[in-house]
């Protein structure tokens, strides 16, 4: 009788493990590609060495859903003169000459069924770095990955690893914490983030 109980428990545990493994693999995670960019744009040089503010280039962040990427014209405002002889800047000048935008590869991307407005977060004075990491040190920007099997397993055995960046758990954890400590009204209802 006892043996059968243990056996059944093992089967259930195995089923649960399998379920988590499969759901973790089959989930469409938020994209976090290593970025291969058409121009090797170094954030570190611009932000750290030359003290250019994030919002000078990502100027839409405080007023719209998107942060936005600067236009070629904006880059050329400096690079018509600055480092004009370097190979990467010559590529930039070529796009400017053809009047085509640089086809940057998107790094941070949530699935289509979610709604994330930058505006609300910038106005609530959350730093870019809280969500995007130490961009000022990056030569190539990279996003941390979404859900992982390791995290699912840790959760299963009762540990609580903090949710990885770009997952729903990450959004909700911060919303709960901000609402509790700063009396903000960050949404916890499904429809505000999913519509």
Of the two residues 9 and 130, which places its CB atom closer to ligand HEC in the complex? 130
Question: Is the distance from CB of 140 to CB of 32 less than 8 angstroms?
Answer: no
- Rule CB under 6 A: is residue 56 a binding residue for ligand HEC? yes
Q: Is 131 in the site for ligand HEC (CB under 6 A)?
A: yes
Interaction residues for ligand HEC, span 171-190 (CB under 6 A): 171-172, 174-175, 178, 184-190
Three-state DSSP at 108 gives strand
Partners of residue 31 on adjacent β-strands: 109
- Least Cβ distance, residue 191 to ligand HEC (angstroms): 8
Site residues for ligand HEC, 60-99, by CB under 6 A, read 61, 66-70, 74-75, 77-79, 82-83, 86, 88-89, 92
148 touches ligand HEC by CB under 6 A: no
Least distance between ligand HEC and beta carbon 153 (Å): 16
Distance CA(40)–CA(42), nearest Å, equals 6
Q: If binding means CB under 6 A, how many residues of this protein chain bind ligand HEC? A: 80
Round to whole Å and give the CA distance between 170 and 131: 10
For position 110 contacting ligand HEC by CB under 6 A, the verdict is yes
Specify whether the backbone of 71 is left (phi greater than 0), alpha (psi in -120 to 50) or beta.
beta
d(CA 120, CA 115): 12
Q: Which is nearer to ligand HEC, 11 or 94 (CB)?
A: 94
d(CA 41, CA 140): 7
To ligand HEC, the closest distance from the beta carbon of 85 in angstroms equals 10
């Amino acid at each position: 009788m006892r043996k059968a109980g243990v056996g059944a428990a093992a089967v259930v545990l195995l089923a649960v493990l399998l379920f988590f493994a499969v759901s973790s693999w089959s989930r469409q995670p938020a994209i976090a590609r290593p970025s291969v960019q058409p121009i090797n744009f170094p954030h570190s040089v611009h932000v750290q060495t030359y003290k250019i503010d994030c919002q000078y280039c990502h100027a839409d962040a405080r007023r719209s859903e998107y942060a936005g990427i600067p236009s070629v014209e904006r880059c050329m405002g400096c690079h018509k003169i600055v480092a004009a002889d370097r190979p990467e800047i010559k590529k930039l000048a070529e796009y400017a000459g053809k009047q085509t935008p640089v086809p940057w590869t998107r790094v941070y991307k949530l699935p289509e069924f979610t709604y994330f407005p930058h505006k609300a977060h910038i106005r609530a004075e959350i730093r870019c770095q809280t969500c995007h990491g130490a961009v000022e040190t990056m030569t190539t920007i990279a996003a941390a990955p979404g859900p992982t099997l390791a995290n699912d397993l840790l959760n299963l055995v009762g540990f609580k690893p903090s949710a990885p960046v770009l997952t729903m758990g990450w959004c909700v954890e911060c919303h709960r914490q901000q609402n509790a400590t700063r009396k903000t009204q960050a949404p916890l209802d499904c429809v505000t983030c999913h519509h």
